[in-house]
Every structure is written in structure tokens, then in C-alpha cells.
């Protein structure tokens, strides 16, 4: 049973990590509270559905097109719904909730409440230590690691990454130093939405495409980012695996209570916060002030 829990937790954690990294980046690094992040992930999913099932395009072509179109939509949302109120976190929060609801209603209107499916990039399964794992899940695991490394590299080793970090540290000083802070924020948003749509492309074949599919991942993302510590990509990564393993543990240890897996995961988050309020890898609030 331990092997089952380990493998299943690892796979689940990877899927969560893939979803959480973009959210963590935009929230932790650019200080943009984008509740519509998972609604953009849903947009990517629907666009892939349109490309593959309605227009008959190859899956990979649909995925690439979906990523670009979602980034474009993300930038429009940033420009009209986030940037004008970026200094007011509460207003930004409410504005992005409204955007997410709007997207939900638009998809409900166009596609109805039907449960739709998207073809996986890779079919079949592998047996790992006696546990069957779909190849698409294994792909999600591999991509989560690649995305984390790439994002880390982008932030730490490129001039744009440096600009993003500098703007995140002190927007005003960065502005005084001659940096185009609006441009930097736009790039951060584009990267974040790009990560959401890539997550959409990889994760969507594993789940069901429907107009409320953004809600559950949003709750998990918030939990992961808070658990891992705001502003820490590594924290989000570790947080994702903690929640992944805890969910698997619940299903295997208490089968009758498998519906409780989300609640248990969120309880762990609360427990960690009670012991370490800044999260696992976060900067302590005292220090931040």
C-alpha cells in the first residue's frame, strides 16, 4: 500500500504543481492576485476542445494555438481589469473573481453544462512497481519538473527575470531607476497565463472540461501557495506534493471517506499555518514589513 500511496501522491502532486507554479509566480513575484488564473486554465481547455473536436486540428497544433490565444486574453484582462486597480489588492481580488465568473458564464452559454473530453497527447499506461499509471500522468510529472526548472532559470538568469524580481521588490524604486514597470508587469502576467494554459494543455486530457472546472483547482492553488509560502516557487512545488500525498493517504487509509480528501488537504494547510504562519518556504511576515 505504501508504494501505491507514494506513486499516486507523486503523480497527483505533479498535476497540482503544474497548476500552482503560474499562480504562485503572479501572486508571489508580481503581487497580482489573479483569481481568474484557473479560469484562464479553463479557457485553454475549451480552446483545445474547439481545436481538436470541432475544427479537427491535430492535438499539438490546438494546444499551441490555445496557449497563445489564452495569453492574449490574459493580457487583455490584465490591461482592462487588473492594471487600473493594481495598487488596491482587495479591488483586484474582486475584479478577477468577476472575470472568472464571466468566463464561466460565457462557456456555459456557448457549450452548455456538458461534460466534454479532450484527447490525451500520449495514450496507454505503464506499470510502475505494480501500480498502473497513465502515460499522460507521467507526462504531467515530467513537465511539472521541466516547467519549474525553466521558470526558475527565467527568473534568476535572464534580464527580464531580474526586472520582474526587482519590480516585485519595490515597484516605485524600479520605476525611478528607469524601468518600464508596466511592461514588466505585463510580461509577468503573460508568463503566468502562459503557464496556466500549458497546465491546461497537459492536465485537461486527465480531467473533464466543463464550465465550473476552474473552481476546484483554484481552491487547491490557494492552499498550495499559502502552504508553500507566498513568493516561493519551491514552496509551491513542495506544497503541491504534500497535498498530493495527503489526498492519496486518505483514499487508501479511509476508502469510505475518500470524498474527504480535499478537506484533509486543506486541514493540513491550516495546521502548517498555525505552526508556521509564513508557510513552509515563505518570508516571515515580520521580516517582510
Site residues (vs another protein, CB under 8 A): 1, 4, 7-8, 11-12, 15, 53, 108-109, 112-120, 123-125, 131-134, 136-137, 205-208, 210, 212-213, 216-217, 247-248, 251-252, 255-259, 261-262
- CB nearer to another protein: give 263 or 284: 263
- Nearest approach in angstroms of CB 258 to another protein is 5
Which is nearer to another protein, 82 or 240 (by Cβ)? 240
Nearer to another protein by Cβ, of 11 and 193: the residue is 11
Least distance (Å) from another protein to the CB of residue 243?
A: 12
Smallest gap from residue 59 Cβ to another protein (A): 11
Minimum distance from residue 248 beta carbon to another protein (Å): 5
Cβ 50 to another protein shortest distance, Å? 14
Q: Secondary structure of the chain in the HEC alphabet? A: CHHHHHHHHHHHHHHHHHHHHHHHHHHHHCCCCCCCHHHHHHHHHHHHHHHHHHCCCCHHHHHHHHHHHHHHHHHHHHHHHHHHHCCCHHHHHHHHHHHHHHHHHHHHHHHCCCCECCCCCCCCEEEECCEEEEHHHHHHHHHHHHHHHHHHHHHHHCHHHHHHHHHHHCHHHHHHCCCCHHHHHHHHHHHHHHHHHHHHHHHHHHCCECCCCCHHHHHHHHHHHHHHCCCCHHHHHHHHHHHHHHHHHHHHHCHHHHHHHHHHHHHHHHHHHHHCCCCCCCCCHHHHC
Q: Which of 197, 250, 213, 26 is nearest to 103 (CA)?
A: 213
* Residue 88 or 114 with smaller CB distance to another protein: 114
Minimum distance from CB of 266 to another protein (Å)?
A: 13
Count Cα atoms within 13 angstroms, Cβ side, for 112: 3
Q: Which of residues 207 and 273 has its CB atom nearest to another protein in the complex?
A: 207
Q: Which is nearer to another protein, 53 or 165 (by Cβ)?
A: 53
Q: Which is nearer to another protein, 17 or 181 (CB)?
A: 17
CB of 80 to another protein, least distance (A): 27
> Would you say 213 or 221 has its CB closer to another protein?
213
Minimum CB–partner distance for residue 4 and another protein (Å): 5
Query: What per-residue string of b and e applies to 118-152 under the rule 16 or more CB within 10 Å gives b?
Result: bebbeeeeeeeeeeebbebbbbbbebbeebbeebe
Amino acid at each position: 500500500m505504501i508504494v501505491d500511496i507514494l506513486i499516486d501522491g507523486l503523480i497527483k502532486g505533479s498535476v497540482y504543481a503544474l497548476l500552482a507554479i503560474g499562480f504562485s509566480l503572479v501572486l508571489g513575484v508580481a503581487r497580482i492576485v489573479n483569481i481568474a488564473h484557473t479560469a484562464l486554465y479553463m479557457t485553454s481547455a475549451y480552446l483545445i476542445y474547439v481545436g481538436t473536436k470541432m475544427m479537427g486540428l491535430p492535438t499539438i497544433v490546438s494546444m499551441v494555438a490555445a496557449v497563445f490565444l489564452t495569453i492574449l486574453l490574459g493580457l487583455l484582462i490584465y490591461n482592462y481589469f487588473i492594471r487600473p486597480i493594481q495598487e488596491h489588492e482587495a479591488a483586484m481580488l474582486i475584479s478577477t473573481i468577476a472575470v472568472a465568473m464571466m468566463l464561466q458564464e460565457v462557456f456555459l452559454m456557448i457549450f452548455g453544462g456538458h461534460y466534454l473530453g479532450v484527447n490525451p497527447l500520449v495514450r496507454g499506461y505503464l506499470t510502475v512497481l505494480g501500480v498502473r499509471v497513465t502515460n499522460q500522468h507521467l507526462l504531467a510529472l515530467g513537465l511539472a519538473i521541466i516547467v519549474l526548472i525553466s521558470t526558475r532559470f527565467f527568473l534568476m538568469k535572464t534580464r527580464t527575470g531580474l526586472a520582474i524580481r526587482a519590480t516585485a521588490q519595490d515597484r516605485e524604486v524600479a520605476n525611478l531607476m528607469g524601468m518600464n514597470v508596466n511592461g514588466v508587469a505585463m510580461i509577468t502576467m503573460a508568463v503566468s497565463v502562459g503557464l496556466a494554459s500549458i497546465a491546461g494543455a497537459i492536465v485537461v486530457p486527465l480531467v473533464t472540461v466543463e464550465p465550473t472546472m476552474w473552481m476546484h483547482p483554484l481552491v487547491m492553488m490557494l492552499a498550495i501557495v499559502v502552504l508553500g509560502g507566498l513568493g516561493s516557487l519551491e514552496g509551491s512545488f513542495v506544497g503541491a506534493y504534500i497535498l498530493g500525498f495527503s489526498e492519496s493517504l486518505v483514499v487508501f487509509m479511509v476508502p469510505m471517506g475518500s470524498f474527504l480528501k480535499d478537506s484533509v488537504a486543506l486541514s493540513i494547510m491550516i495546521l502548517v499555518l498555525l505552526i508556521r504562519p509564513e508557510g513552509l518556504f515563505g518570508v516571515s511576515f515580520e521580516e517582510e514589513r
